[in-house]
Amino acid sequence: MHGLINRAIQSFVGATYGQSCWVRVTEGARLGFVEFEAMLIYDDEMTTRVLEALSIDLNRPQAEILEDLGTYLVSHPNMEGLRRLLRFGGVTYVEFLHSLDDLTDRVRLAVSDLNLPALELRELSAKEYQLCCLPDMPGFSSVMVGVLRAMADDYGALVMLSHEGRQECCEIISIILVESAFSEGRHFDLGARNR
Amino acid sequence: MTHTQEQADLLETLCPMFLLVDRSGCIQQAGPTLQKLRPELPLVGLGVLDVFELIRPRTVTTLPALMSMAGAKLHLRFRDEPRTTLKGLVAPLPESGGAVINLSFGISILDAVRDYALTSADFSGTDLAIELLYLVEAKSAAMEASRSLNLRLQGAMLAAEEQAYTDTLTGLKNRRAMDHLLGHLILANSTFALMHLDLDFFKSVNDRLGHAAGDYVLQQAARIMLEETRGDDTVARVGGDEFVIIFKNLTRVETLESIAGRLIARLNEPMMFQDQPCCISASIGTALSTQFKVPKAADILHAADVALYQAKRDGRSCHRLYSTLIKAQT
């Protein structure tokens, strides 16, 4: 698993539950180290063990924790850079949803060895969408639920999301757009590079 | 009229940074994004060369010259602040004698989006500007992550190298460090003195009081050697109870004699280890780089060794200079 993903988990746990929780998780997962390096590649096994240890430590199901991770990635001040990259996807929430088709390619443009599962948006109507995640990275669809929810807040859209689980060969997230301009949302400035 | 209106609508959709100029160079119409760059200055009615100056090609300073640049890439700049540079392309309109000039930011886009607070709506749907901005931010973030990894790796490498040059028991330099330094001094043609110091009776301390006592004695001896030398002298432990001290830019025999005398005197004092006195002494042989026409590391070390051997033969706890031995022989 790419170091950036492991590092994201580490950052989320540290910021949400504290460094001591993260240290316990690394011990529970028998990592032998505490810090993941963002630009190195690790065995997938390690990530699996970290998530298992985290689930035991917090006594919460993995899917729930991963949803929170998705929300953290968009809404926490630590992750402002990532939120901005996602906002480049479109001017409105619906445009952003459509840009998810290109997400894996966009990610590869930035970090050539970071492979995320392919996403496909199905437009059932102007208010109803389904996002299909290929299942090559377990838990990815749960993270996406959190990302979609936080991005809706970011755009000021009101949505209802549900994780429909596995259908045929992919994980389905259904998205119902109740109101596209429900609140003001957060400001996005194309040129705000000096944070 | 309808024809012109259609043309203008088309231009606004496809090229939000176009200029429509008539045969006299007067701006008839300006794209919405271009106008957004000068909110206080309506562009329509102004002369195109009064608003912009041409940077490349420099030879183009008149309107006829500009109109003749059909299809060529132009570099322009606003004459007033902020003096944003733009890329441009001239497409003449033969019927009216005017031209359409399409402009874009080129590489100045990063500053432009900030200076003018541009949004996605200011670029045409096919413009790669947003993708470019995305890439710049994504690559900067990725580069930052790589850079911080590089810094940590460099720190780890320096720490590893430092360890590899250090004798872990005494904290002095090790044989490798000494070889390295010696090679360096010779390459740089520096003058220096090299002392080879051997602890007498160290083996008996080790045998009688154990390794812990031996280690203690080595650490105390190392401390004494550091105290009796200057900060830029090099003290290295090159074997069990053998040390080499290199004095850069010091070849004055009297000074060396007096340093050696102090070292021997202090190392002669019994050291107490767990209430047990450990008695050692030191024998020293010294060679000078200046004694060799072409100094070689092996020769200088050998010379110091010969002097040390003489000191041992002369009853230990004394200092001998290689130069004195040579004089005595000849």
Q: Which residues of A touch B113 (CB under 8 A)?
A: 190-191
Q: Please tell me the total count of domains within chain B.
A: 3
pLDDT (0 to 100) of residue A193? 53
In a domain, B152, yes or no: yes
Handedness of CA B289, B293, B295, B301 (dihedral sign): negative
Q: Could you read off the pLDDT of B302-320 as tens digits, one per residue?
A: 999 999 999 999 999 999 9
- Comparing CB atoms, the residue among B117, B139, B148 nearest residue A189 is B117
Other CB atoms within 10 Å distance of the CB of residue B89: 17
Q: Is B113 on the interface with A (CB under 8 A)?
A: yes
Q: How far is CA B27 from the centre of its chain?
A: 52
Residue B62 φ/ψ, nearest 5 degrees: -115, 160
Query: How far, in Å, CA of A33 to CA of B241, rounded?
Result: 39
- Comparing CB atoms, the residue among A81, A111, A190 nearest residue B113 is A190
pLDDT tens, position by position, for chain A (195 residues)?
999 999 999 999 999 999 999 999 999 999 999 999 988 999 999 999 999 999 999 999 999 999 999 999 999 998 888 998 899 888 899 999 999 999 999 899 889 899 999 999 999 999 999 999 998 888 999 999 999 999 999 999 999 999 998 888 899 999 999 988 888 888 888 876 543
Query: Span B244-267, mean pLDDT?
Result: 95
Query: How far, in Å, CA of A140 to CA of A102, rounded?
Result: 16
Query: How far, in Å, CA of A18 to CA of B92, rounded?
Result: 66
Range of the domain at B144: 128-164
Averaged confidence pLDDT in chain B: 91
Q: Coil, strand or helix: which one is A12?
A: helix
Closest CA to B244 of B230, B256, B234: B234
Q: Is B120 on the interface with A (CB under 8 A)?
A: yes
Q: Could you say which of B127, B167, B200, B241 is catalytic?
A: B241
- Comparing CB atoms, the residue among A39, A85, A192 nearest residue B138 is A85
User: In this structure, are B321 and B228 located in the same domain?
Assistant: yes
**Cβ–Cβ < 8 Å for A191, B110:** yes
Domain residue spans of chain A:
3-60, 79-179
pLDDT (0 to 100) of residue B3? 62
Q: Which residues of B touch A193 (CB under 8 A)?
A: 110, 114, 136-137
**pLDDT tier for residue B140 given thresholds of 50, 70 and 90:** confident
CATH number for the domain harbouring residue B241 = 3.30.70.270
Residues in chain B: 330
Residue B15 makes CB contacts below 8 A (sequence gap 6+) with: B31, B102, B124
B241: annotated active-site residue? yes
- Percent of chain B at pLDDT above 90? 64
pLDDT (0 to 100) of residue B330? 67
> ipTM of the predicted structure?
0.77
Residue B52 φ/ψ, nearest 5 degrees: -120, 150
In terms of C-beta density within 10 A (0-12 exposed, 13-18 middle, 19 or more buried), how is residue B265 classed? Answer: middle
pLDDT (0 to 100) of residue B2? 52
User: In this structure, are B103 and B184 located in the same domain?
Assistant: no
User: In this structure, are B26 and B89 located in the same domain?
Assistant: yes
User: In this structure, are B206 and B278 located in the same domain?
Assistant: yes
User: In this structure, are B132 and B268 located in the same domain?
Assistant: no
Distance from CA of B141 to the nearest CA of A (A): 8
In a domain, B102, yes or no: yes
Q: For residue A60, what are the CA distances in angstroms to A55, A137, A166, B322?
A: 5, 20, 21, 78
Whether residues A110 and B141 touch (CB distance < 8 A) is answered with: yes
CATH number for the domain harbouring residue B82 = 3.30.450.260
Q: Which residues of A touch B127 (CB under 8 A)?
A: none
Instruction: Please give the order of strands across the beta sheet that includes B18-21.
Output: B27-30, B18-21, B98-104, B85-93, B73-78, B52-56
User: In this structure, are B98 and B160 located in the same domain?
Assistant: no
Residue B329 pLDDT greater than 80, yes or no: no
Closest CA to B104 of B78, B131, B82, B85: B85
In a domain, B170, yes or no: no
In a domain, B288, yes or no: yes
In a domain, B169, yes or no: no
Closest CA to A5 of A60, A66, A56, A53: A66
In a domain, B33, yes or no: yes
User: In this structure, are B316 and B235 located in the same domain?
Assistant: yes
Q: Which residue of B has its CA nearest to A90?
A: B120
- Comparing CB atoms, the residue among A37, A84, A111 nearest residue B137 is A84
Residue B199 pLDDT greater than 80, yes or no: yes
Query: Span B61-82, mean pLDDT?
Result: 89
In terms of C-beta density within 10 A (0-12 exposed, 13-18 middle, 19 or more buried), how is residue B124 classed? Answer: middle
CATH 1.25.10.10 fits A79-179, yes or no: no
User: In this structure, are B80 and B132 located in the same domain?
Assistant: no
Distance from CA of B84 to the nearest CA of A (A): 15
Please, which residues 61-90 of chain A have a Cβ atom closer than 8 Å to chain B? 81-82, 84-85, 88, 90
User: In this structure, are B181 and B302 located in the same domain?
Assistant: yes
pLDDT (0 to 100) of residue B284? 97
User: In this structure, are B228 and B247 located in the same domain?
Assistant: yes
User: In this structure, are B95 and B50 located in the same domain?
Assistant: yes
**What tokens were used for B17?**
């940074």
Distance from CA of A191 to the nearest CA of B (A): 4
User: In this structure, are B229 and B325 located in the same domain?
Assistant: yes
